[in-house]
Amino acid sequence: MKAKDARRETHPTALTEADDYRDGKISRREFLARATSLGISAGAAYGLIGATAPARATGHAQLGGALRVQMDVRELGDPRAWEWSPVGNLARGTLEYLVEYQNDGTFRGMLLEGWEISEDALRYTLRVRPGVKWNNGDEFTAEDVSRNIIGWCDKTFPSNSMAGRFATLVDPETGQARTGAVEIVDPLTVALNLPHPDISLIAGMADYPAAITHASFDPSDVLNAVGTGPFLISEWALGARCLLTKNASFAWWGASVFGEPPLDTIEYIDYGTDPAAHLEALETGEVDMLYESVGEFVSIMDELGFEKSEVLTAATIVVRPNQLAEVEGIRPYADRRVRKALQLACDNAICLELGYGNRGVPAENHHVAPVHPEYAELPLEAPDPAAARALMAEAGMADYEHELVSVDDDWRKNTADAVAAQLRDAGFQVKRTVLPLAMYQADWNTFPYSTTNWNHRPLGVQIHALAYRSGEVWNEFGWANEDFDALLTQALGIADADARREVMREMQKLIQNDGVAIQPYWRSLFRHSRPGLVGNEMHLTFEIHPYKLGFAA
């Protein structure tokens, strides 16, 4: 589509941002993410900058075959309570999404055909894709979309992180969707009526806990869930394997849009957290591709000739004290001086080198990345162990032993080790506790002092709303700041990234200055596979899309 034709589909903001891209003010990915989140098709967005949308690689895949993938096989349950990306991948062949986020930054309608946002950003009009059926024969309609969004807004549902993504629609008095917020216009149209603008809703619909479920959904029986996807979960064993089998009796709606899914089966096999075991499985032919390649094994697999896919992201790790945690009758991390002392004792560049082999870029301890459109560059405080000791002594905690917890894997364990070593060098007492995955997962957001990996999200405000807003399910920091919350509400309503950046600058400063966490670096992500696969590229957010995967023709 030529640029002048694309303009007929555009929002005025997108035209301005296309000019910003041409002037070199924003990257191509940033422009595409902004434009498509407004409801502009990917083809039209590419047309605005005189480019052509890339073709889908699975057009060159042969039909049939069984693909084996190394990945954790974890508990399933209700998607709203999913806390880890692999769970979304296990179910994604059956439970699909309204929107899909692409590596080029675009948002593509899946169960939604498209959407429009009013000029004042107070009304979203969601257009349901016609002709979609559930695999039990039911029609997929606006009622299904409405029911799921209302369920996302339910703050009373335990561990529902979707309520944080859709907080604008939630009535703070009831913990439920605001009256009139979700409106069924007709069988194929849903309108969202917002009390104030929120630019993050489309991005939230693409995140892995946003899988769409049928009215009959039973969280205790996900293996038999009714879905709209082309695969069924035919076998599942916790910590061992999960088998997706193509549903031969179901005419998948997406075949006419994206093409027939090539594979007969996809088997996810759990080899634990040791990357040496992942390498061995790939090298011996037990699997065809990895979920993720990490650490020194990236170079080893390169040398062995496996195909590598790489993407620079806003994925990261936080080394965070929990300000609400009590240890022997005290809250050691409620004191800002203690938190800042921990932060000042560490050099983020050393964390990147020792923890992740320099496969990324240092961060500034505020959880907004240079790849985010609203990122405001701040000076990173230089490490100052002497100042750290003085602050810790002033807080009366110089002799306190900090127990730093991490999962037993490669890069997360190594990063925690690097932090512990620097804290000890600064004169602090540190106990390192390394837990197996199951034990770590059970308490990841309640440990007094621990490390957690965080995925890339398209928008910085999206991460801040999920992780740093007061009282959110995923706020593992125990941090509550009314000034931050007010700024966040303001930022969520600003579509123009340049204007939003000025508000974001203040939010970033609040997080950085309050010593909320050591957030040391941004990760490049890697995936190795055997030659001859298609649709297996490493995704910004670790997503594996079963309908794209296949063996090259």
Residue with tokens 């061995």: 280
| In 455-529, alpha helices (H) | 460-467, 482-492, 497-513
> Residues 290, 293, 299, CA angle at the centre, nearest 5°?
125
Residue-by-residue DSSP string for 140-153: P-HHHHHHHHHHHT
Q: Is 535 left (phi over 0), alpha (psi -120 to 50) or beta?
A: left
Residue 58 has a pLDDT of 46
Residue-by-residue DSSP string for 62-113: ES--EEEEE--------GGG--SHHHHHHHTTTS--SEEE-TTS-EEESSEE
pLDDT along the chain (553 residues), means of 10: 42 61 65 74 72 60 96 97 97 98 93 94 96 98 98 97 97 97 98 96 97 97 95 97 97 95 98 96 98 94 97 96 97 98 98 96 96 92 96 98 96 97 98 96 95 96 97 97 98 92 98 98 97 96 97 94
Residue type, 271: Y
Q: Up-side HSE of residue 184: CA atoms within 13 Å toward CB? A: 13
CA separation for the pair 211, 234 (Å, rounded): 19
CA separation for the pair 549, 57 (Å, rounded): 9
Residue 43 has a pLDDT of 75
CA separation for the pair 34, 37 (Å, rounded): 5
For residue 41, which of 107, 135, 96 has the smallest C-alpha distance?
Answer: 107
Residue 18 has a pLDDT of 65
CA separation for the pair 82, 510 (Å, rounded): 29
Domains and CATH numbers, the chain: 3-54 (no CATH), 97-210 (3.90.76.10), 312-524 (3.10.105.10)
Q: What separation in angstroms does the CA of 513 have from each of 244, 319, 380, 385, 389?
A: 47, 16, 11, 17, 17
Residue 36 has a pLDDT of 79
Residue 325 has a pLDDT of 97
